[in-house]
Amino acid sequence: MEDLKPYDHILKLLEHKAVMKQQIFRTTKKVFDRFRTQLEELGDKMRFDFKEKDPDVEIQYSEKGEFEAQLKFSGDVLVISMHSNVFSFPPEHAVNQLKYVKDKPTRKYCGVIHFHNFLADSLKYNRSSDTGYLLGRIFINSEEHFFVEGQSQLGFLFNSFGKGKIQQTQILEILELAIIYCMDFDLLTPPFESVRQITLEEKQFMGANSGYPTGKRMGYKFRTELDQGVIPSNQK
């Protein structure tokens, strides 16, 4: 394309990149819809199997527009969301070293589905200062090949990019592991000194939003921080 005039170059780029990205978007959306359907079915099964043990434990599936779905189970919410854009990877990323990508560089372009964990009360009381946590993200290319970056088993069970299309059994396993991680990741009380004093503004916020701004992260170190030797400032 070096000998092309600028306008012809633009048309060529549109032909190659724009068409490719639209294809990736459609593929990612199709996979995301499979995740949404599976999450709803999983929620129905959990609610049916658990209702006789404790009917007060709420298990509820909901959707927030075209690109987000939620499953509430007890005090947690698993939120899955699809990003509307297509991404590539920096040159130093391991994806670029795979033969699968070297054989066809456009395979490195992916859509992304995110998995977040929020406290149910954060959404119920609209506590906008509360924190949610990224459990994992799934990268999907135009061929439906995928890999997962994530916490716990999500980070190493699904990292064989280029080994095949995502299967329904894998979608179910990813969702089940994400739910398990949500429930294993406990809410810890903040240090007494950090909440000993509050401002009037904070008190008024608490009255309107049912409690302190809250996140599970308090007093907790993620595996990635442990692996990298990163110590949060309040734990040094």
Per-residue pLDDT band for 213 (boundaries 50, 70, 90) equals low
Give 148: exposed, middle or buried? Use CB within 10 Å, 0-12, 13-18, 19+.
buried
Determine the pLDDT at residue 205.
59
Domain membership of residue 77 (yes or no) is: yes
Domain membership of residue 166 (yes or no) is: yes
pLDDT at 133 over 60: yes
Domain membership of residue 38 (yes or no) is: yes
Helix (DSSP H) and strand (DSSP E) numbers for the chain: 7, 6
The angle at the Cα of 160, spanning 154 to 163, to the nearest 5 degrees, equals: 135
Q: What is the DSSP string of 151-196?
A: SGGGGTSS--TTS-BPPHHHHHHHHHHHHHHHHHS---PPPGGGGS
**What integer best gives the mean pLDDT of the chain?**
83
Rounded to whole angstroms, what are the CA distances from 160 to 146, 149, 165, 166? Answer: 8, 11, 11, 11
Q: Please state the domain count of the chain.
A: 1
Domain membership of residue 195 (yes or no) is: no
Domain membership of residue 82 (yes or no) is: yes
Domain membership of residue 175 (yes or no) is: yes
Which residue range(s) make up the domain with 65? 6-186
Determine the pLDDT at residue 229.
40
Contacts of 137 (CB under 8 A, 6+ apart): 112, 113, 114, 115, 148, 149, 150
pLDDT digits 0-9 by tens, 54-64? 888 899 999 99
pLDDT at 207 over 70: no
Domain membership of residue 221 (yes or no) is: no
Greater model confidence, 52 or 201: 52
**Residue 85 is which amino acid?**
N
Determine the pLDDT at residue 126.
79
Per-residue pLDDT band for 232 (boundaries 50, 70, 90) equals very low
Contacts of 14 (CB under 8 A, 6+ apart): none
